Amino acid sequence: MPPVWVIATRGLLLCAAPALAQATFVLKEDFGSPADFLDKFDFFTEPDPTHGFVEYVDKATAETTGLVTTNNDFVYMGVDSTTMAPKDGRRSVRVTSKGVYNHGLVIIDLTHMPGNACGSWPAFWMVGPDWPAGGEIDIIEGVSLLDYNAVALHTTTGCTIDDSGFTGDIQTTNCYYRAPEQASNVGCGIKIPSPQSFGDGFNNAGGGVYATEWTSTGFKTWFFNRDAVPADITAGNPDPLSWPVPDAAFAGDCNFERHFWDMQIVFDTTFCGDWAGNPDVWANSGNCASLAPTCQEYVANNPAAFEQSYWEVVSLKVYEDSNSTQTVAGGAFPSAPRSRVMRRLSA
């Protein structure tokens, strides 16, 4: 809130509180044409921090094996869907942006995200430099046969959110990843109930757009179906004030400046691990448990089940508020060491 200026005129004190300046978002980083997209990411090749049955490969291997491709319309990032019983896990890619961000508006246009498949665990997210310090927001995430997306935050202790200001369904309110009253590593989450927000439903509808605004007071996320994308986004002049109530909004008893900083953008698709491979989760993931006794056994022996486990990215842009003094760093900070950017243990 701007200060209230007290103006003295001929002995009279006139108090005026100027209106908040309307946010004007300007493009800070465009991940560019599909041909340039991958140059703005580092490929993560270490063991999966979430203990997934996955082998993350480097850029050269991904290009040679067709796990990443580009054309004039989109970037493709997929997984191995042909190898039977891979010894080191099913091959996939996990990429982390070279740019580091503080505040801004992240807008991604996808024609396809990984489809529903038993054992899959795709995510599009942002994470700080030394998790859980620096925070995490999962913009798109789900496992196996879930037919909805859930947006979530993960922090150190001392961050809770209100249950108002959004159209989604609140799941949990304590963002602390070890909150004693919640299941381990859940954080605070808001479900977007639309079946078109995730997996097969998203893909069958022709994809869509996710927009996430990050300010000093919290986060807001909107999901737009392909036929409902605001014209200002298409024109490159996004105006969140003109959009509907967000699907998810995170505000409340939380110092967001203390909990979130220097975040990088991540795409990944893993398998099984601490969430999708949890025995209780596997047993309650539709008919998955009837197909194989364990997640790893199914993923290892059913490569064709993952033919739809790929991302098609049409565009990814990061905007900053021209009125803000703390916005997108746009790569001004060095990338956090890969060994320190630890993926949180989802539940």
Domain boundaries, the chain: 25-322
**Nearest of 308, 332, 255, 312 to residue 124 by alpha carbon:** 312
What is the β-pairing status of strands 90-92 and 54-56?
parallel
Out of 141, 213, 312, 320, pick the active-site residue.
141
Between CA 206 and CA 196 the distance in angstroms is 9
Residues paired with 316 in a beta bridge = 108
* Predicted pLDDT at 166: 98
* Predicted pLDDT at 24: 87
141 flagged as catalytic: yes
**Are 255 and 159 a contacting pair, CB within 8 Å?**
yes
What is the pLDDT tens value at each position of the chain, 347 positions in all?
333 322 233 333 333 334 445 668 999 999 988 889 999 999 999 999 999 999 999 999 999 999 999 999 999 999 999 999 999 999 999 999 999 999 999 999 999 999 999 999 999 999 999 999 999 999 999 999 999 999 999 999 999 999 999 999 999 999 999 999 999 899 999 999 999 999 999 999 999 999 999 999 999 999 999 999 999 999 999 999 999 999 999 999 999 999 999 999 999 999 999 999 999 999 999 999 999 999 999 999 999 999 999 999 999 999 998 876 554 443 332 333 322 233 333 33
Between CA 180 and CA 261 the distance in angstroms is 25
- Residue 256's H or E segment, with its range, is helix 256-259
* Predicted pLDDT at 33: 84
Out of 29, 46, 55, 136, pick the active-site residue.
136
* Predicted pLDDT at 11: 35
* Predicted pLDDT at 173: 98
* Predicted pLDDT at 324: 65
CATH class for the domain made up of 25-322? mainly beta
* Predicted pLDDT at 2: 37
* Predicted pLDDT at 325: 52
136 flagged as catalytic: yes
**Nearest of 140, 157, 138 to residue 149 by alpha carbon:** 140
Inter-residue long-range contacts of 19-23, CB under 8 Å, 24+ positions, other chains counted: 21/323, 22/241, 22/323, 23/240, 23/241, 23/321, 23/322, 23/323, 23/324
